[in-house]
Structure 1
Amino acid sequence: MITDIHVNKPMPFFSEEPLISFSRASNVTLTIKALEAGKPVLITAFYSDGLDLLKALHQHLKKQFPNQTFKEQRAYRLAYQKLSKLIYIDIVDYKLIVKKAPSIGWLAKLYPEHNNFLLPFTKVQGLNSAWQWYTNGISLPVLRSKIHPYYGVYFPTRFDHLILFDNWLNRYNGPKKSAIDVGIGSGVLALQLVKFGLQKVFGTDTNPNAIVGLTEAMGDTKLSRKIELDFASLFGKWEKQTELIVFNPPWLPATHNLDKIDEAISYNDSLFPDFFEGAKQRLLPEGKLVLIFSNLAQITKVTETHPIEQELANGGRFRLEQCLKRSVKSASEKTKRNQNWRATEEVELWILVHA
C-alpha cells in the first residue's frame, strides 16, 4: 500500500547545545573556521544571511580547490557539501524563523509530526526550489501537460535524450500491449509511452518519493489505470514477459556509496549485470529493450567502460538492432563551470533484441 511507504526527506536536527549564530554582523572568516572545525552554525536574522554565508564559503573553497576538470569539480562539490550541511535554520510551526524567508509547503506536508526543529540551510533551499517546481509544474517538449515532480525525485532539465526517445516511439510500429519502465522517476518516459498508445506501463523505483509523488499526481484518473507502480528495484514484482522494456539508467559510475537520490545519477558495479539478466527473462521473444544513455563518462575521463557496449561484447544475452545518437546542446553561457567537454557529448538510444 502507498500508505506504507515512508518518503525520503531531510533529517530534522534537534540540538541540545546552543549553536554558533550567524547574521550579517558576524565575522565570516571565523564562522567558516568554525564550520571547518565541524561546529554547526545557525542563521538567526535574515534568510539572505544564509545565502551570503554560502557565497562566502564558495569563495573560500575556490582558493583551495582547482575547478577546471570534471574530477576537480567533483572534489570541490564534495568539500562544499561537507561544510554547507553544518549551516542550519530554525523551523517553528512549519515556518522559517528568520526575516524575509520563503513559504515552503513541504514543511507541513513532510513533517506533520514535528513542531520545532532545525534543517540544514542547503536542504531548505532544495525544499524551496522543489516546492516551486511542484506547485508551478515543469513544461517538457515531449509532453502535452506539465509534470509536478515530488520532493526528492529527479526530473530532466535537459531534453535531448527525451526527444531521441520520442522520435523513436513515433516510428515504433510493434505491439503496444505493455511495457516496463525501470526506474520510473518523475514518470516522463512512462507518459511518453502512454502518449504513443501503450496500453499498460509497469513502473518501478527504489525512491519512495517517486512512487508517492506519481500516485498522488495520477490520483484516480484514467492515467492511474494505465500506469501501475511498484516500490522496488529493477523489475520488482513484474514477472510477466512484455513487448518493451525501457531503462534510462544513471550515466556515471559511482565514486562513493550511494544514497537514494544519488542512485538517479550514479550507478554501482552490479546495476547493469543485474538489469540485463532480469531483462532477458522478461522480454518477449520479439520484444525490444530500449536504453537511454550518454557518452558522458567517457568524454569526461571518469571511465573508459561503456556498460551497454560491454554487455553486447560479453553478455551473450542481447544483440544490437539499432543505436541512435543526438548531439547535446552546448552549456548555457550563464554556466561558470568549465564544460568544454559538452561539445562532444552525445545522448544515445540503444535498441537491443534477444541474441
Structure 2
Amino acid sequence: MAHEAVNVRQLTAWTLGHTRNTEAAPVALRSRWTAEADPGVRAELLIALGRVDLSGAAVETRALLGAATPAPLRLAALLVALAAGEPWTDTHHGAALGLLPAREITVDRYSMHYREPLLAIVDSLLRRDTKADREAAFALLDAALRDGRPEVRAEALSAADHACHLSRSAPQRLVPAIAPLAADYPASTLLGKLGPAAAEAAPALAELAAQPDDETADQALAVLVQVAPRQAVPLLARDLERRPRALDAAGGFQAPAFPFDPALLAAVRARLAADGLGNNETTNLVHLLRQWGPQAAAALPELHAALPRFQYAANAISAVAAAGPPSDPEAGAER
C-alpha cells in the first residue's frame, strides 16, 4: 500500500476491495486514505472501501463532489454514492456534468466504469427503479446530449441507447434532445432503433432526407422509414434509384409492412424493369410488392419478367394475384 509505484498502490487497493474482508481491509484502506496524495490512487481506495464498508465510504463522498476535487476521485465519489443509495441531488448532477467527457478518466479499470462512466451512472440511477431517479438519469442525459462538444454528445448517445434499452419511458423523454443530432450516424442509428417511438424526430429526418448529398439523404431516409413510414413514402418514391439503404429499410425481410402508395408502386415498377439490378435490390423491390399483395396488381408484368432470373418473384406473384381479378381493367388484361 505504500509502494513508490502508483500502479502498484492502485492494484493493491483494488485487490483489498475484492477480498470482501469487512474487518482488516477497511482498516488498511482507511490508513492509506489519510496518507495518499495521488488522485488516481485515492479514487481506487474509495471504490475499494465502498466494497468492504459501503456506508462509511458514502460518508466520505459528500465532501468530494466539488469542482476542486480531481476528476478520477470525483467520479469514484459519484459511483460510491450511487451504490450506497445516496439521494441524487443537484450537486451530484453538476458533478457528473462537470466530468464530461469522461471516457478518459480511469476509475475501477476492471469494470464497466472504466470505459463508459456516464453510462455507468445512468445505469445505476435507472436500476434504482424510482420515478425520481429515472428523471435524474434523463435530465443528466438531456443536458449531455445538448452539449456543444461532439465527444460529450458521443458519450451521451451511447448512454441514451442503454437507457432506452432499460426504460420504456426513456424514448419520450430523450428524443427531443436526440432529434437535432439526426445528421450524426450514431444518433440516426438510435432513432432507427426506437422506430415510431422517435416520431418527434421525423421533421428533422425528412429535412435531411431532402438534402442533395445522396449518402446523408439515404441514411436519413432509411431512419425515417423506421420512424415515420408515411412521411418517408413520397421521398422514397421520388428518389428510389438513389436510396438503397432506405429501400432496404422499407423492403427488407426484417422490415415491418411498408405503406402502399401509387406513386411508390410506379417507381418500384420502373426500377424493377431497369437493366443491371443486383440481387439485393431486386429482393427488396419484389418483397415490397409481395407485402402490398393485390394492391400491387399493376406490377404483375414486371414480376413475370423477373421470374426467369429471380425465382423469389413467384412468391410475390402468388401474393399479388391472391385476391382474384383486379378492379383495374388494364391490370387485369396484363394478368
Please say which structure displays the higher CA radius of gyration.
2
Normalising by structure 2, report the TM-score. 0.29
Whichever structure has more strand as a proportion of its residues is: 1
- Higher relative CO (Cα under 8 Å, sequence separation at least 6) belongs to 1
